[in-house]
Amino acid sequence: MKYRNLGKWGLKVSEIALGSWMTDLNGAAAEEAAKATVKKAFDLGVNFFDCADAYSGGRAEIFLGKLLKDYPRRSYVVSSKVFFPTGSGPNDRGLSRKHIIESLDKSLKNMQVDYLDMYFCHRFDNETPVEETVQTLSDMVERGKILYYGVSEWSPVQIMEALQIIDKKGLRPISVIQPQYNMVDRYIEDEIMGICEKNGIGIVPFSPLSQGLLTGKYRKGRAIPEGSRATHQADKQINKLLTDQNLDKVEKLIGIADNLNITLGQLALAWILRKHVISSAITGASKPEQLESNAKASGIVLTGDVLNEIEKILDYKPFFRRVG
């Protein structure tokens, strides 16, 4: 496993991280598989574990915390998030000072740690001033409860507003962002990547395999595999991605991966890691073998010819407005 700095900062994270968004905790067998996956992560050199207060109603944090207790605190980097509802009260959601402090304390208790390495605003809060949010997060860094903080799925304008307030008030900086980024969702390349490069902010994208589309398990003209996410995911996000256009791209990308003797998933992850502004790719895994396969993407360097071939398949057209 190779490691990268978190943006311009000193923290080093594994190129492949393990996320808890889709961790299945329903039943003893599922819990055993999740436990084995975390153990495999340490065996593979994965040191970055991502979670959130809202995942599985808080159970994901508790479960991960129990597993991490078996390892020295210095050996891993762990993150969580705040924004989504954690209760029925009017202050049990959002990015107010009250909710951030209370949610952070609960996350620390759930994961049985004294501090979080990273803490994210899970989404933007239109009902709370950005100044209140970044002041609170800066204060949490000062108190040693978090080491680095960032945002997830904020727009370029929202990120810039936060950066301007931070600079004006002399607050602790945003160090990292966690957007969605993969071969079929590249919106951050238009503006956000440039903002991050200019400000030394690391990017740790989620859904790097596009909900499983880029694993190769979903093929054009074939039945959806039993037990796959497309058969049980409540919001049907993956099903919306299974278009003829996307599946045609998958077939062509599989051809490139086969020529390189790697899997489509490894190709997709190596493609994300081609960008130096990417610090780590947060992958999900329901069993150890999936993580082991994903981890092999670390260190794969795609040649210019391969990258050009991929670009022809993806046919991405970045936003560009010509004036005059």
- Contact criterion met (CB below 8 Å) for 140 and 149: yes
Say how far residue 98 (Cα) sits from the centre of its chain. Answer: 25
Instruction: Please name the amino acid found at residue 127.
Output: E
Torsion of CA 199, 197, 83, 173, to 10 degrees: -20
Tokens of 248: 């045609």
- Contact criterion met (CB below 8 Å) for 51 and 60: yes
Please give the Cα distance from 233 to 241 (Å, whole number).
Answer: 13
Please give the Cα distance from 105 to 127 (Å, whole number).
Answer: 22
Please give the Cα distance from 111 to 18 (Å, whole number).
Answer: 15
Q: Is 187 a catalytic residue?
A: no
Q: Are strands 116-121 and 48-50 parallel, antiparallel or unpaired?
A: unpaired
Please give the Cα distance from 230 to 211 (Å, whole number).
Answer: 9
Q: Are strands 202-203 and 12-14 parallel, antiparallel or unpaired?
A: unpaired
Please, where are the H alpha helices in the chain? 28-44, 59-68, 97-111, 130-142, 156-169, 192-199, 237-241, 244-259, 264-272, 288-295, 304-314
E strand or H helix at 174, and its extent? strand 174-177
Best CA proximity match to 195, nearest among 173, 210, 172:
173
**Active-site choice (3, 55, 71, 76):** 55
- Contact criterion met (CB below 8 Å) for 121 and 154: yes
Active site residues: 55
